[in-house]
Amino acid sequence: MKLYYFPSPNPQKVRFALNELGLECETVPVDLTKREQRAPEFLALNPCGRVPVLVDGDLVLWESHAILAYLGEKTGKLWPSTAAGRADALRWLFFLTGSIHPHATDIVFNRIAVKVAGGTPDEAAIARGEKALPAPLAIIDAHLAKNKWMLGSEFSLVDCDYGPVFNVVDKAGFSFADFPHVRAYVEAIRGRRAWQETPKLPGL
Ligand SMILES: N[C@@H](CCC(=O)N[C@@H](CS)C(=O)NCC(=O)O)C(=O)O
């Protein structure tokens, strides 16, 4: 397998998952600061011009959540074995996409990505993100009050999804003071060797 990678949250989800699963995978760097994601060869793999992209034989797959689901189905590890369990996993992946990512991105993009890639922070977007993120985070906090990991007592690929996002939201200065279970979860993610071995940008 090959993973087209930059050390930002969406590709980190996949690298973290590959590390947890112990799968061999070549990393192909795509430097977003040099706009390598817009190169014609890369756009031929992902017309959206975004990382991650996983290539496994004839399969060329983009969208981090599809890749996580694929790795779970392919290996049968860190992924539920029942239809109801898999639906639960997908529910949390969709929840991250639809209800958390837009607000997290407003904060993280404007506090971190613009510094890395060059640009001017949109302060109104940061304020919007800070206002909107607490509602979905409260749902996750209540869930984590009763569950050690996103799918219950066992670590799963869904945690490979949430971990990198909450890590960078924290690094972007969003306060988890009102979300103690999310706070503890971020520290538990950071304690995992597979996460420690996932490449990161300096200070993130
Ligand atoms: N929904 C996509 C989002 C991928 C994404 O936004 N990746 C960012 C890095 S974290 C990227 O490649 N940005 C480059 C760009 O938008 O030009 C996924 O989950 O894979």
Q: Whose CA is nearest to atom 16 of ligand 1?
A: 50
In-domain check, residue 186:
yes
82 Cα to the center of ligand 1, angstroms: 30
| Residue where a domain stops, chosen among 75, 109, 136 | 75
In-domain check, residue 203:
no
Pocket test for ligand 1, best of 51, 62, 112 (most atoms within 8 A of CB): 51
In-domain check, residue 201:
no
Task: Spell out which residues line ligand 1, taking CB within 6 angstroms.
Answer: 8-10, 32, 37, 49-52, 63-65
Indicate if 108 and 185 belong to the same structural domain: yes
**Measured between alpha carbons, how far is 65 from 95 in angstroms, rounded to an integer?**
11
User: Tens digits of per-residue pLDDT, 127-155?
Assistant: 999 999 999 999 999 999 999 999 999 99
> Which atom belonging to ligand 1 lies closest to the Cα atom of 38?
17
Number of folded domains that form the chain: 2
10 Cα to the center of ligand 1, angstroms: 6
- Percent of the chain, pLDDT > 90? 97
Indicate if 91 and 58 belong to the same structural domain: no
User: Tens digits of per-residue pLDDT, 66-121?
Assistant: 999 999 999 999 999 999 999 999 999 999 999 999 999 999 999 999 988 888 99
**134, 141 contact by CB (below 8 A):** no
List the CATH number of the domain containing 16. 3.40.30.10
pLDDT of residue 115: 86
Q: Which domain holds residue 58?
A: 2-75
Residue 102: burial class (beta carbons within 10 Å; 0-12, 13-18, 19+): middle
Indicate if 67 and 87 belong to the same structural domain: no
pLDDT of residue 195: 98
- Percent of the chain, pLDDT > 70? 100
6 Cα to the center of ligand 1, angstroms: 10
pLDDT of residue 119: 86
Indicate if 66 and 119 belong to the same structural domain: no
**Torsion angles phi and psi, residue 3, rounded to 5:** -120, 120
**Torsion angles phi and psi, residue 62, rounded to 5:** -120, 170
In-domain check, residue 105:
yes
Indicate if 43 and 21 belong to the same structural domain: yes
Q: In which region does residue 184 sit, left (phi positive, over 0), alpha (psi from -120 to 50) or beta (all else)?
A: alpha
Indicate if 88 and 132 belong to the same structural domain: yes
108 Cα to the center of ligand 1, angstroms: 13
pLDDT of residue 48: 98
> Which atom belonging to ligand 1 lies closest to the Cα atom of 35?
17
> Which atom belonging to ligand 1 lies closest to the Cα atom of 30?
12
pLDDT of residue 116: 85
**162, 150 contact by CB (below 8 A):** yes
List the CATH number of the domain containing 131. 1.20.1050.10
Please identify which residue in the block is written with the tokens 């977007």. 125
Q: Whose CA is nearest to atom 5 of ligand 1?
A: 50
Q: 34-63 burial, b if ≥16 CB within 10 A, otherwise e? A: eebbeeeebeebbeebbbbbbbbeeeebbb
